[in-house]
């Protein structure tokens, strides 16, 4: 392991000028803490498999206290409890479906970020498409009507000739 | 004329939706437990820790289950109302002391009054999860058959008592 003392003797041994040596020493010292003092991360749970499943599950569950956070992200007490509950249920060999069912029975569909298709959620699922169809439909109707409103103007012989003259007028000239 | 009426109509519809949205409280998540049997529990009393109460003990009467804690600030707001309600004798109130410390909870009741027929202790919040508790205080109205008929999320207010809870209690007490 590199120690500050080794760095210093390295700088001195090169017989660098004192100011230059100090500058190099300063920058070398910056590297030392990261190498010497970093620790191994403490494992979050005894069983990483359980933790992995728990995280995957809670990612799609809403924390009811801080409603825009998932239970996986939230530090609220409520989420801590739910995470503990899920860990216990995983250890008791319950399937993911059973665990989600358990939570829905208690907190309702609102805990799910991915709501099920039900009579009450039909508008949630198809509302946007419905609004799109209405909007797109009225755009088409509007454009058709507008086209009908613009009358085709037919030009008389005299007008056509006049236009041709006007167009030819500038021919050959620099535009 | 319709040229102007259609956008105006669309605007009014949108404004109405947004206006209703303003009055809704996103924190009030409807409980799926309404009209379902109250989850079963077997919990120790707060005052006499060696006694236990089971959820089934109250079959045959209409009762309130009030979830509270001494660390819960909003519980202090509703507490005088609960004391009044208990004194009126309309309904027995049972307190579920949620994730609290026994000594502080007992002191808290001494200080603010004790409206509870029996206080029970849910130390680790397990029963809380069964009841779908996510914010204290919460109050459940449970009927004679042990079915949850109403859930008040957040503190009980004069308004919620007069308009919802008390009329419901009177109606439920008439049921066989």
> Which residues are paired to B124 by β-bridges?
none
Residues 6+ apart with CB under 8 A from B33: A105, A106, B39, B131, B132, B148, B151
- Residue B152, chain A, CB below 8 Å: the answer is no
Which stretches of chain A score pLDDT less than 50? Answer: 42-43
Domains of chain B are 37-174 (3.40.30.10)
From the candidate CATH numbers 3.30.70.260, 1.10.8.640, 3.40.50.150, 3.40.50.620, the one assigned to the domain spanning A48-111: 1.10.8.640
CA dist A86 and A82 (Å) reads 6
* Digit-coded pLDDT (tens) for B109-156: 999 999 999 999 999 899 999 999 998 899 999 999 999 999 999 999
Instruction: Kindly state the tokens that stand for B167.
Output: 């009329």
What is the three-class DSSP state of A17?
coil
Record: contact A106-B32, CB cut-off 8 A? yes
> Which residues are paired to B148 by β-bridges?
B142
Task: Using CA coordinates, name the residue in chain B closest to A102.
Answer: B130
pLDDT for res B140: 96
Task: Using CA coordinates, name the residue in chain B closest to A108.
Answer: B32
8 A C-beta contact, residue B140 and residue B113: no
Task: Using CA coordinates, name the residue in chain B closest to A64.
Answer: B134
- Residue A146, chain B, CB below 8 Å: the answer is no
Average pLDDT over residues B76-83: 94
Integer angstrom CA distances of residue B45 from A6, A156, B30, B40, B54: 66, 102, 29, 16, 10
pLDDT for res A38: 56
What is the residue extent of each domain of chain A?
4-37, 48-111, 118-148
The answer to whether ipTM exceeds 0.85 is no
At residue B54, does pLDDT exceed 90? yes
> Which residues are paired to B49 by β-bridges?
none
Average pLDDT over residues B3-30: 88
At residue B101, does pLDDT exceed 70? yes
Q: Rounded mean pLDDT of chain B? A: 92
Which residue in the set B131, B132, B134 is minimally distant from A65, CB to CB? B134
pLDDT for res A7: 55
At residue B107, does pLDDT exceed 80? yes
pLDDT for res A10: 57
pLDDT for res A86: 93
- Residue A105, chain B, CB below 8 Å: the answer is yes
Record: contact B30-A67, CB cut-off 8 A? no
What is the three-class DSSP state of B54?
strand
């Amino acid at each position: 392991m590199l120690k500050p003392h080794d760095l210093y003797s390295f700088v001195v041994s090169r017989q660098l000028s004192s100011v230059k040596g100090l500058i190099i020493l300063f920058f070398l010292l910056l590297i030392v803490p990261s190498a010497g003092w970093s620790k191994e991360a403490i494992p979050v749970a005894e069983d990483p498999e359980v933790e992995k499943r728990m995280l995957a599950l809670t990612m799609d569950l809403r924390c009811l206290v801080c409603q825009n956070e998932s239970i996986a992200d939230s530090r609220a007490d409520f989420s801590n409890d739910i995470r503990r509950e899920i860990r216990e249920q995983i250890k008791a060999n319950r399937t993911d479906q059973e665990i989600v069912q358990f939570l829905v029975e208690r907190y309702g569909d609102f805990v799910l970020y991915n709501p099920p298709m039900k009579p009450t959620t039909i508008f949630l699922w198809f509302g946007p498409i419905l609004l799109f169809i209405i909007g797109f439909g009225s755009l088409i109707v509007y454009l058709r009507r507008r086209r009908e409103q613009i009358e085709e103007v037919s030009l008389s012989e005299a007008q056509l000739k006049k236009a041709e003259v006007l167009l030819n007028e500038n021919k050959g000239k620099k535009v | 004329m319709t040229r102007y009426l259609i956008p105006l109509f669309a605007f009014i519809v949108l404004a109405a939706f947004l206006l209703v949205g303003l009055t809704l409280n996103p924190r009030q998540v409807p409980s799926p437990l309404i009209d379902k049997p109250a989850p079963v529990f077997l919990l120790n009393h707060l005052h006499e820790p060696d006694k236990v109460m089971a959820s089934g003990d109250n079959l045959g009467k209409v009762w309130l289950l009030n979830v509270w804690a001494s660390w819960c600030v909003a519980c202090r707001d509703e507490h005088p109302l609960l004391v009044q309600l208990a004194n009126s004798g309309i309904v027995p109130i049972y307190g579920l002391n949620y994730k609290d410390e026994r000594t502080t909870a007992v002191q808290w009741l001494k200080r603010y009054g004790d409206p509870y027929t029996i206080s029970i202790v849910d130390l680790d919040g397990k029963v809380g999860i069964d009841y779908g508790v996510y914010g204290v205080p919460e109050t459940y109205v449970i009927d004679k058959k042990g079915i949850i008929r109403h859930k008040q999320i957040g503190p009980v207010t004069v308004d919620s008592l007069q308009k919802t809870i008390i009329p419901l209690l009177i109606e439920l007490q008439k049921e066989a």
